[in-house]
Amino acid sequence: MKNSSFLLILLFYQFLFISNIFGKNITIKNSEDTGCPNKDYFMKEDQKCYKLYKTNSSREDASKLCKNDNAYLPSIENNSEEQVIFNLLNDSNGKFWLGLKCTNITACFWDDGHVLGNCYYVNVNSSSIDYGEWVSEKCENELNDYVICQQESNTDQLYDCPKDYSRNEDNNDCYNYVSIPLTFEEANKNCQNNNATLVSINSNEENMYILNLSNDKDKKENIWIGLTYKNGTLQWVDGSTLNEWNNLKNNSLEVKNEGSVIMLTEDGDDYSKWKVVNPSDKYPSVCRFKV
């Protein structure tokens, strides 16, 4: 989301990038403590390395603490990565600085050292009214809770897929077909239990992979994908950018009704197309775990 106008709009409308936190906390496994430049950092599912400090700090002090480790304050590119960072705190209440500054409505930067403008923190106090939000704060003010440092891993080792997920060799992400019919919201919450989301699709190759995955289950039922249509806008629930490729029915964005999107996997002329339907309808679904 670094270059997304969507992010800028959210940041300047009370910064309401809200992630609902569902499911299990991530347990650090032995396989995760490899591939990081610093031995006391841990590599997580997003292939980035993290360390959590319990300390009071201003934004500048927090940034210096991370730079001493050749790391930086965390950037968040999608909902899955936000979920990883939230889980580092293991349901603790508090706040942590983001590596984000905005000097005005058109200039937001991820931890580039710019000294002007406000900075942003995330409130993870579950009893607070701004729980989960990105909140603007003066950079010199001190947070009394946490510093999270992030750095790139130095390994090509892939994180294991969650149980019952299979790896797509073309993009290395992990997928799971869920045969139980659920509403759109229920289906996405079910995916989030494994730190995944309903699937995003950005090419014909990915579309065919999902079709083949559903066909392997000997089912001919339409399936939920992670696309919503609201106020004339299509958006993926994992925060990824909707590119020009899409497979909406009749290849048209002229959709009359708001709703959520299914892939048509039943035999017929519209096989493999996408269609906007009522989100309260129940269908099987496909989850995507981004590596």
- Give per-residue pLDDT as tens, 225-271: 999 988 878 888 987 777 666 666 544 444 567 889 988 887 777 78
16, 20, 25, 28 alpha-carbon torsion, rounded to 10°: -40
Same domain, 53 and 111: yes
Please tell me whether residues 10 and 135 are part of one structural domain.
Answer: yes
Residues 192 and 253 in one domain: yes
Higher local confidence (pLDDT), 154 or 95: 95
pTM exceeds cut of 0.75: no
**Count of domains observed in the chain:** 2
Hey, what are 142's tokens? 């001190």
Domain with 73, as residue range(s), is 5-152
Asked if pLDDT for residue 175 goes beyond 90, the answer is yes
Is 189 found in the same domain as 145? no
Cβ burial of 274 (10 Å; 0-12, 13-18, 19+) is buried
**Residue 178 CB: number of other CB atoms within 10 A?**
19
What is the rounded average pLDDT of the residues 126-151? 77
In a domain, 23, yes or no: yes
160 lies in some domain: no
Which domain-ending residue is among 101, 127, 152? Answer: 152
Gyration radius from the chain CA atoms: 20
Is residue 238 included in any domain, yes or no? Answer: yes
Q: Which of 169, 149, 166 has its CA nearest to residue 69? A: 149
Region 3-9 average pLDDT: 40
pLDDT at 98 over 60: yes
For residue 234, tell me if it sits in a domain.
yes
pLDDT class of 112 with cuts at 50, 70, 90: very low
With contact defined as beta carbons under 8 Å apart, do 224 and 284 qualify? yes
Taking alpha carbons only, the member of 176, 187, 243 closest to residue 214 is 176
171 pLDDT band (50/70/90 cuts)?
Answer: confident
Answer yes or no: is pLDDT of 124 > 90: no
Strands 48-54 and 42-43: antiparallel
For residue 82, is it within any domain?
Answer: yes
Residue 230 lies in a domain: yes
- Per-residue DSSP letter, 158: P
Residue 26's pLDDT is 32
18 and 145, same domain (yes or no) = yes
Same domain flag for 146 and 192: no
**Between residues 140 and 196, the one the model is more confident about:** 196
Are 13 and 128 members of one domain?
Answer: yes
Q: Of 122, 152, 182, which closes a domain? A: 152
pLDDT in tens, 35-82: 788 878 888 877 788 999 988 899 889 989 998 998 989 887 766 677
Per the model's pLDDT, the better-predicted residue between 123 and 287 turns out to be 287
Helices first, then strands: H and E counts in the chain: 5, 17
pLDDT recorded at residue 34: 58
Q: Choose one of 152, 176, 202: the last residue of a domain.
A: 152
**In the chain, what is the straight-line distance between the N-terminal and C-terminal CA atoms, in Å?**
16
Q: Which of the two residues, 141 and 255, has the higher pLDDT score?
A: 141
* 120 and 13 both lie in a single domain: yes
Q: Residue 223 has what pLDDT?
A: 94
Residue 37: φ, ψ to 5°: -60, -35
pLDDT recorded at residue 8: 40
Task: Give the residue from 12, 75, 14, 2 showing the smallest Cα distance to 240.
Answer: 2
Q: For position 226, what pLDDT does the model report?
A: 94
Residue 161 lies in a domain: no
**pLDDT of res. 240:** 76
User: Is 157 part of a structural domain of the chain?
Assistant: no
Q: In which band, very low, low, confident or very high, does the pLDDT at 7 lie, cut at 50, 70 and 90?
A: very low
Cβ neighbours of residue 251 closer than 8 Å, sequence gap 6 or more: none
**CATH assignment of the domain containing 50:** 3.10.100.10
Cβ burial of 31 (10 Å; 0-12, 13-18, 19+) is exposed
pLDDT band at 157 (very low <50, low <70, confident <90, very high): low
Together in a domain, 66 and 147: yes
Which of the listed ranges 58-62, 134-138, 280-284 does the model predict with the highest average pLDDT? Answer: 280-284
Report helix, strand or coil for 79: helix
Q: Quick one: pLDDT at residue 22? A: 29
Cβ atoms of residues 266 and 168 within 8 Å: no
Res 184: pLDDT: 96
Q: Are residues 101 and 185 in the same domain?
A: no
**Owner of token pair 């990883």:** 84
Q: What is the DSSP letter of 163?
A: T
Same domain, 12 and 39: yes
Check if the beta carbon of residue 32 is closer than 8 Å to that of residue 44: yes
What backbone torsions phi and psi does residue 20 show, to the nearest 5 degrees? -75, 135
Q: pLDDT band for 107, please (50, 70, 90 cuts).
A: low
DSSP letter string, 12-72:
TTTT-------SPPPPPPGGGGSS-SSTT-EE-TTSEEEEEEE--EEHHHHHHHHHTTT-B
More confident residue, 23 or 115: 115
Mean pLDDT of 175-190: 95
Distances from the Cα of 224 to the Cα of 66, 71, 149, 254, angstroms: 40, 38, 36, 20
Do 97 and 183 reside in the same domain of the chain?
A: no
